[in-house]
Amino acid sequence: MLIALALLGMLAQALELTLPAVLMRNLAIAMIALAIFLAVLRGERLGGGNGLPLALALFALWISVRVVYEDGAQPVPLLLAMWLPFTFFAAYTSRAAGQRVAAIFCVFTAVAATLYLSTTLSIGLRGGLLINAIFYVILGLPFILAIQSRTMRMAGILVIVTAAAASNKRTAIVALSVALFMYLLTENRRSKPATTLRFRPGLAAGGLILAVITPYWVGLRVFGVDILAKFADAGQDGGSGRAEIYSWVWKRLGEASANRLFFGHGTNAVAQETGGFSAHNDFLEVAYDYGLVGFGLYLFVYACLIATLIKLVSSRNRYAGAWAASLGLFATLSSLSHLALIPTYVALLAVFWGYILRETADSTGSIDGSSVRHNGVRRHYASPPRRKSIHG
């Protein structure tokens, strides 16, 4: 709840609504840190046998070391650097029932979409924080996909797709399309025996209509924006200048000294050296700002996310599709925009990962595909029977 309120405050700030956003965020970070400390005193396992908690903690720790080295031990920058693992561990150690956590962030996603749509309709599309506030909406998708009710899932997806269409932001549309495709592909794989992978034309067509055609129709008819025309302009505008900034970062990395290449140029170095522009690619930005050490730890996070997905799929866990969607969002937004280094954006995914690992962890902390928590109590289920072939 604290995380949701803090994120709501930051969303309100992006939409130029009157709320003490920074105060809400900083108080939430401090209270979350206290909650995690108390959880450790209670003997809670912070991740158990899964490598993701360690990967997130090491990545944030390296960023914190760089912050202290450059600016000293200032509390706010340090708290922001630790926001990623804090939100993860807050969800993982939460005493609230899993479905309650999911419900809170489903409501947050609905509220974020409503605020975004109402603001867009009232004052129109603008750049900067306002248009980027769509990320608060689409990053709630994994929570929507984890809902058991198919009707609720479809309604939530429709709301998110509508908000993405209203944003007229290419990155949001691409990320949403990739996430939905990975969700459908993973659900198809999870529902089949391990030796088969059959393509479902109906699901593929439905996903295509939902992820591409629906945003185009809604954007054109309701908000008067032509999303396909925006994509057609990508070749002319260089992806809103991305091609130019990518080239600049690559060139600077090639010219960097061994010390800079290994340890990085410092926090926000790309923005400081380009007059306020980010690299719009977390892989490049992490490599430039935090060096090969930070880049290696960042790749470690991806390795753990992929390893967890493989375990969820192999155990036919019902959260596998939603986890795949979260990975799709993380990879796409990290490749085409900025996510990992924006603590308020990535917090939604961190909470989701912590929530899922807590829901699916057995007594050792490892993923257990045959059990899921319900209202704080673990119930065991037999694995779904495999369908027999009609050929015997």
Is residue 208 packed enough to be buried (19+ CB in 10 Å), middle (13-18) or exposed (0-12)? middle
Q: What is the pLDDT of residue 290?
A: 92
Judge whether residue 115 has pLDDT over 80. Answer: yes
Q: How confident is the model at residue 327 (pLDDT cuts 50, 70, 90)?
A: very high
User: Cα(219)–Cα(369) distance, rounded to whole angstroms?
Assistant: 40
Q: What is the pLDDT of residue 90?
A: 76
CA distances from 391 to 324, 386, 387, 388 (A): 32, 14, 12, 8
Encoded amino acid at 23, one letter? L
Judge whether residue 192 has pLDDT over 90. Answer: no
CA distances from 133 to 26, 101, 138, 361 (A): 19, 22, 9, 33
The pLDDT > 90 percentage for the chain reads 20
Could you read off the pLDDT of 208-264 as tens digits, one per residue? 555 555 655 555 555 555 555 555 555 555 445 677 888 888 889 888 899 999 998
Structure-block tokens of residue 71: 């600016």
Closest among 117, 36, 28 to 79, alpha carbons compared: 28
Element (H, E) at 232: helix 227-232
Greatest mean pLDDT among 131-145, 268-282, 365-379 lies in 131-145
User: Cα(87)–Cα(98) distance, rounded to whole angstroms?
Assistant: 15
Mean predicted lDDT score pLDDT of the chain? 74
The mean pLDDT value for 125-139 works out to 75
Q: What is the pLDDT of residue 370?
A: 47
Backbone angles phi, psi at 60, to 5 degrees: -65, -35
Structure-block tokens of residue 122: 């009232």
Q: What is the pLDDT of residue 342?
A: 81
Prediction pTM value: 0.79
Q: C-alpha angle 51/53/59, rounded to 5°?
A: 100
Q: What is the pLDDT of residue 23?
A: 60
